[in-house]
Structure 1
Amino acid sequence: MSRRASTRPMRREVVASAVVGNARRLELPARCRRLKGTRAANETETETPRPRHRDVRRTRARSLRSRSKAGALPRSPSESATANSRAAVVRWPLRNQILLPMVGLMLAVIAGVSLLDAYLSARQARGRIERELAEVSRTLSEAKFPLTDAVLRQMTGLTGAEFVLVDDQQVRLAASTATIEPQLLPPERDPTATSEAGPATSPLAMPVRVGTRDFYHSQIEILEPRLARATTLHILYPQENYARAWRDEVYPPLLIGGIATVLVVGLSLAIASRVTRPLAGLHAQVDAIAHGDFRRIDVPRRDDEIGDLIRSVNRMAEQLAHYEVEVRSNERLRTLGQLGSGIAHQVRNAVTGCSMAVDLHARRCGQDEENLAVAKRQLQLMEKYLRRFLSQGQLEAGTHRPVVLQDVVDNVLLLTRPAARHVGIELGLHMSAEPVEVQGDSDALEQLLVNLVLNAVEAASTSKAAAPTAGSIDPGAASAVEPSVDVRLRREGSTAELEVANTGPPPAADLSERLFEPFVSDKPDGTGLGLSVAQEIAAAHGGRVDWYRQGNHTQFVVRLPLI
């Protein structure tokens, strides 16, 4: 019987161990009642006569048909949504919003500059040809030497124009080429006359066709020194020469404008893609977040607004993931509280009966056994926790008053030492001689320390079970650490430190950061509530619980403010 009594302190949470196994049994009667109520309602509805309901449905159907014919029937939400989607604006991607205006503006500027440059170049070419012909005409008209075929051929080499000198009878006196007959030349024109190409005095004023070739024709009156009469000099500038000069001046600006257009379009596409590509990834991540996937997206190297937006979305994803964990944990705690209230009442009745049986056994034995006192004390604490749970809905701390931690440690060691001895673990105690006093609830602080000590005993016993035997050939067997649990109480400035150290293995690495969260445990039969309750009690007293791994010892340190 003493062994049974000593194993009871190993259970740290009275309610949590029974909740999971009895949840479905508690929900089953409610489900049956709901099913029975639904079936009864269906049977009652089946037995009720329905002629009036059918009449009402027929009348309503006729009313709807009449309103539909009259066009007064309102649209359903789905129909309204379909109509709105049809009337919605066509999708205008951000890439096009950036690309098209920028490319359009640049193309307009390039086209305008190219056309203006081509126009000015064409005018410059025409002016240059006209100036050259005008200079040659003035030189020939003022010449004091006779105009012979050789002189006119030299002028053709300089200007590219053909020259024909005739008299008033249209007799050729000299020419730069023998292929142009005087009879094919146009008649004399009024110098003040104009044509589509400009005034008649312009060297490129009148387009004419002489034989099979096209020219721009002009003429000047010259007084030939060897003749005592006036002569006419016909100037014929080939149109193919003018066209060649025009192309040489106009095509380069247009070609440069075309190349610039291609480069601008290509660069604009590249820039727009570079800007909008992270947005596509961001859209995919936000869509994944909407479906519950809170993975991060890589932040681009460049520091810009898109990077800031991606970092904000990543922070949002982290917060949502954290909130989801909290919501699930709160839901589990809420479910535990709802189901635990009924189970706690049953457990309390069982504890009362057990306490009465221990009292009767103590009276019959008539011996002052330590194990019976410990069992009685444990049952009293269990009944106190259950009564508080039933009255407040959770294990909240009571009224705070001055508490001497040495007394709390003594009471806890008195309760937990039988359980430690049962598994072969000795509890070491090192307390400050000076009283360590805090403001708090002694029962809650005892519960906090009981959870830590029992966790330490269980961890140390695990390392003892895994230790090598006496006949082991393991070379490190001789240096194995003896399993132990040490409790230390000391003052550190204005803080009381209560340390529980054990030689057991440390918590799992993947649970180290979530060790004090509810339902987090690496033990097959653990509920994950012991450390969570301990942290909540410490927080209610203005302190906290931390854990460290130093050498072969795992240390849990409770820090509370001193009075």
Structure 2
Amino acid sequence: MVAAALLAAALVAAASYVLGARWATDELQSRFEAIEQSLSGSNFPLNERVLDSLAELTQTELVSVNVADEVIHSTTALSERSEDRYQVSRDGRKFRVLFFAIKNESSRQDRVARVGVMFDESQIEASRRRAAMLPLATGLSTILALTSIMLLLSSRLISRVSKLQRRVEGIAGGDFQSTAADDVDDEIGRLGGAVDSMASQLSQLWSQINRQQSEKLLHQIAGGMAHQLRNSLTGARMAVEMHAQQCQSSNDEGIGVAITQMEVAEDYVRRLLLVASGRVDEDHAAEVQSCYDDVRSSLSPIASHLHVEMEWKVNGFPARDAVDSGHEIVGLVLDGPTWIAAASNLIGNAMQAGDDVRVELCSIPGDLVRLRVSDDGPGVPEKIAEDLFEPFVTSKPEGMGLGLSVARRAAERLGGEVRWRRENDRTFFELDAKLG
């Protein structure tokens, strides 16, 4: 673009130079004709004084010659004469000379036959240069301004394109979080917005693929664990039942709790085997209050063994007095075992994290029931906070990171959601489920 602009300016300057030469020649001819018209028919003598006065008046140099073409008088000293030019010896200037004839030269006393009007070639050349310099200066200044603007815009465009390139390379490398769009509403700005939109879609797709892969791996792990646990649980349950038959005490609470826990564990194993085979167990609707009581009765002994202080409430009242005080929650959850599994996971995690655990079951508008679990533990590490409910995400060295993932899937199946927050040095988990 700069080369094209320079070529255009050079062409315009050359054309102006040619036109300037023509204008200078036309001006020279016009001045010559005016002098010829004034002097060719004059009757006054063209002596030295008159020629000097006329030369000063017309701002030219004049020379008079006789019939033999000999110089009679010249207003400037001449050193050399050619066909149409005279060279001045003092400073080397060259003149272009145009002659006109004097009428009645034979009767004139000054013997002047012709008068030559000498025009300085340097002035003619200066007129040509002036004609060319204006468009050339205008063109060059315009080129300079346009080049500066072009360089500024180009550098900005290059910077934006480079940023867009780095963003695309980042996306290719798996970085879906940074942005490429800016506030400029042009083609590059819209392209950056399209790249960001693509990155967002790829991020969602990547998360979905990871989740699918995690679920696939979860199914495989579930199948392997379930087959191992089923044999162990069967043998343990047979041993406990035989001990119960041989035990003399008919009201051994420990044996009853052990058998109940084994039954729950066997149900978990059965569900794990269904998950591993790609099937889903049939829903078993259950009273939410009954599910809550089962969780409390099964986890309270474990809390005592771990020396964890537990507080159980229903609608703000202690759980043991909820039925008597008329604050029991009435309603069915879609699948009782699913709700029990999710609640047990949340409460079990709280019991491992802190020494003071509070569990509350309450009804909320929208036909929902909420289980709120809080503990005084250190809270969730910041590095896993965003992916806390994803499979295999855990801060425990011995953990597999499946509990909260199961809780989330359970909440989705029950028509609710699960979430967490940190407040007043306590960690809160809330499980919502829809009541039928």
CA 1:123 to 1:300, structure 2 compared with 1: closer, same or farther past 3 Å? farther
- TM-superposed CA distance for 1:398, in Å, is 3.6
Map 1:439-518 to 2 at 5 A: 439-461=333-355, 483-518=356-391
Structure 1 residue 418: Cα displacement: 0.8
For 2:323, the equivalent position in structure 1 comes to none
Tell me which of the two structures has the higher relative contact order, counting C-alpha pairs closer than 8 angstroms and 6 or more residues apart: 1
- 1:169-205 superposed Cα distances (whole Å, 9 cap, x missing partner): 4454543245379xx675xxxxxxxxxxxxxxxxxxx
Q: CA deviation at 1:312?
A: 3.5
Counterpart for residue 46 of structure 1: none
Q: For residue 133 of structure 2, give the secondary structure of its aligned residue in structure 1.
A: helix
Give secondary structure in 2 for the equivalent of 1:235.
strand
Quick one: distance in 1 between partners of 2:181 and 2:376? Answer: 44
Residues 94-125 of structure 1, C-alpha deviations (whole Å, 9 max, x = no match): xxxxxxxx445544543444344433333333
| Corresponding residue for residue 12 of structure 1 | none
Whether the 8 Å contact between 1:147 and 1:174 is mirrored in structure 2 is no
Tell me how far 1:411 sits from its aligned partner. 1.0
Determine the C-alpha separation between the residues in 2 that align with 1:536 and 1:276.
48
Any stretches of 5+ residues in structure 2 without a counterpart?
316-326
Give the corresponding residue for 2:24.
Answer: 125
The SS at the match of 1:513 is coil
Look up the match of 1:539. 412
1:429 is aligned to 312
Q: Secondary structure at the match of 1:520?
A: coil
Scaled by the length of structure 2, the TM-score of the pair is 0.83
- Deviations 1:401-434 (Å, cap 9, x if unpaired)? 5432101101111111110111123433322525
CA displacement at 1:287 relative to structure 2: 2.9
The 3-state SS of whatever aligns with 1:489 is strand
Q: How is 1:391-402 mapped onto 2 (pairs within 5 angstroms)?
A: 391-393=274-276, 398-400=281-283, 402=285
Is the counterpart of residue 386 in structure 1 residue 285 in structure 2? no
1:349 counterpart residue number:
231
Cα gap change, 1:486 to 1:297, in 2 (>3 Å):
closer
The whole-number CA distance in structure 2 between the counterparts of 1:178 and 1:385 is 127
Counterpart residue identity of residue 556, structure 1? F
1:285 matches 2:179: no
Q: Which amino acid aligns with 1:460?
A: G
Indicate conservation of the 8 Å contact 1:398/1:441, yes or no. no
Residues 1:257 and 1:492: Cα distance change in structure 2 (over 3 Å) = closer
Q: Cα offset for 1:359?
A: 0.6
Residue identity opposite 1:498 in structure 2 = L
Structure 2 distance, partners of 1:548, 1:179, is 108
Deviates more, 1:495-504 or 1:167-176: 167-176
The number of aligned residues is 419
Cα distance change on mapping 1:493 and 1:329 into 2, 3 Å: closer
1-structure distance, mates of 2:313, 2:166: 59
Partner of 1:219: 99
Say whether residues 1:419 and 2:302 are aligned partners: yes
1:231 is displaced (CA, Å) by 2.7
Distance 2:279 2:313 in 1: 29
| Cα drift, residue 152 of structure 1 | 1.8
Change (3 A) 1:210 1:413: closer
* Equivalent of 1:304 in 153, 170, 186: 186
Corresponding position: 1:359 with 2:241: yes
Superposed CA deviations along residues 359-405 of structure 1, whole A, max 9, x for unmatched, are 11111113222222122112112212222322342797643454321
Residue 550 to residue 266, structure 1, CA distance change in 2 (3 Å): closer
- Per the normalisation by structure 1, the TM-score is 0.66
Question: Does the aligned pair in 2 maintain the 1:167–1:173 contact within 8 Å?
Answer: yes
Distance 1:531 1:209 in 2: 110
* Residue type of the alignment partner of 1:454: G
- Structure 1: tracts of 5 or more residues without a match: 1-101, 187-206, 462-482
Equivalent residues of 1:153, 1:177 under 8 A apart: no
Give distance in 1, aligned partners of 2:103 and 2:262: 145
Alignment check: 8 A CA contact 1:402 1:437 kept = no
Shift of 1:501: 2.7
What is residue 192 of structure 1 aligned with on the other side?
none
The worse-fitting range, judged by mean Cα deviation, of 451-460 and 110-119 is: 110-119
CA distance in 2: counterparts of 1:126 and 1:405, whole angstroms = 112
Match of 1:274 among 131, 138, 156: 156
Percent of aligned positions that are identical: 30
Contact conserved, 1:404 with 1:437, CA < 8 A, in 2?
Answer: yes
Aligned 8 A contact 1:133 1:159 in 2 = no
2:397 is matched with: 524
Contact 2:417 2:432 in 1 (8 A): yes
Matched, 1:168 2:67: yes
1:236 counterpart (103, 108, 118): 118
Q: Does the 8 Å contact 2:181/2:196 carry over to 1?
A: no
Given residue 358 of structure 2, which amino acid in structure 1 is its aligned partner? V
Q: Report the CA distance between 1:519 and its aligned residue.
A: 1.5
Which whole-Å CA distance do the structure 1 matches of 2:160 and 2:395 have between them?
41
Q: 1:147 aligns with which of 23, 28, 46?
A: 46
In structure 1, the residue matched to 2:319 is none
Q: For residues 38-75 of structure 1, what are the alpha-carbon distances to aligned partners after superposition, in whole Å with 9 as ceiling and x for unaligned?
A: xxxxxxxxxxxxxxxxxxxxxxxxxxxxxxxxxxxxxx
**2:132 aligned partner:** 250
CA shift digits 1:292-335 (9 cap, x unpaired): 45563665564433233334434444554554455345334423
- Identify if the C-alpha distance between structure 1 residues 535 and 427 changes in structure 2 by more than 3 Å, giving closer, same or farther: same
SS in 1 for 2:404: helix
Is contact 2:182–2:189 with CA below 8 Å preserved after alignment? yes
Partner of 2:252: 369
* Aligned alpha-carbon RMSD (Å): 3.2
Query: In the superposition, relative to structure 1, how do residues 408 and 317 fare at CA in structure 2: closer, same or farther (>3 Å)?
Result: same
